[in-house]
Amino acid sequence: MKLLLLVLLAATPAFAQTNSIIVAQDGTGTYRTVQAAVDAVPNQSQATVTIRIKPGIYREKLVVNTLKTHIKLVGENPETTVLTFNDHTGDAGGHDTYSSHSVLVQANDFAAENLTFENNAGYTAGQAVALHVEGDRATFRHCRVVGNQDILFLAAGHTRQYFQDCYLEGTTDFIFGASTAVFDHCVIKSKKNSFITAASTPEQQPFGFVFLNCKLTADTALAKKVHLGRPWRPNAKVVYLNTEMGGHIAPAGWDNWKNPANEKTAYFAEYRSTGPGANPAGRVAWAHQLTPKEAKAYTLKAIFAAEVPWVPGR
């Protein structure tokens, strides 16, 4: 038995014992690519495996499949550690919104820190997803999600994601999808006259996208009339609480996506917006201004409540 144990330990990669591996393009780490490191993690791990990524531009179409649970990607600095690709709708590869991702996260209990997720297909490329998340209980801290149209696809209903102190920039519908997601103290930059969010929240899901204490900024040369959101599906839910809004935010605030019927089903709301873009009196009549009592319901515990409770650690 002792001999068998020694053999097993000798055959076990070092990262499995330390729960940490290193990716470095110059060969000084355990692996040269992020995908190789992810693929090496044991399937269905119940303990967090940390993959530390050295500075560099990693041009790879990364997939964290459903079996690769409890993976944490950690960069040293989001400005210098970039995960990027350039697939987009209508390209030679025949990609669409669902396959244009630079990074696809299908596994539950994923986390990332100090990284940039980028799609660099270009300003005129159309739909080009930088980060596509389908897994539940995903956490992103001090990350950047950058590109142009449709950069952040939170695709699956009844899944939960948390973004803290992140930076997101894009052009049209650049935060979109069906999940429940919280953006906590994030900076959201618009790069053209268009829409920030396009939620497709399922009817029975109580929360969609929630922005807490965020800041909305713009490329002021190209983005002078930006809407807070429009409903990709009829029951879209988007709420901004205590958010600073630049002058690029359109007075109406919200759009019905050329379908008045959406006004009866979508739930778009604000609470104590500030800055030149805050204009409660000018908002569309079918949007909501929350009362203090209603705003108190937007706690992480309440937003992320489910059969399996989850509150992301601070």
Q: Which of 150, 165, 184, 219 is catalytic?
A: 150
Do 36 and 58 touch, CB atoms closer than 8 A?
no
* CA gap 129, 121 in Å, rounded: 9
List CB contacts of 143: < 8 A, sequence separation 6 or more: 78, 112, 113, 114, 115, 116, 117, 163, 166, 167
173 is annotated as an active-site residue: yes
* CA gap 212, 268 in Å, rounded: 14
Do 78 and 144 touch, CB atoms closer than 8 A?
yes
136 is annotated as an active-site residue: no
Q: Which of 109, 136, 173, 184 is catalytic?
A: 173
Q: Is the dihedral of CA 278, 282, 284, 290 positive or negative?
A: positive
Token pair in block for residue 217: 């900024």
Do 205 and 158 touch, CB atoms closer than 8 A?
yes
Helices (H), the chain: 2-11, 14-18, 34-40, 292-295, 300-303
Closest C-alpha among 56, 113, 121, 112 to residue 85: 121
Q: Which amino acid is at 152?
A: L
Closest C-alpha among 222, 232, 275 to residue 255: 232
SS3 string, 239-270, reads EEECCEECCCECCCCECCCCCHHHHHCCEEEE
Catalytic sites, residue numbers? 150, 173
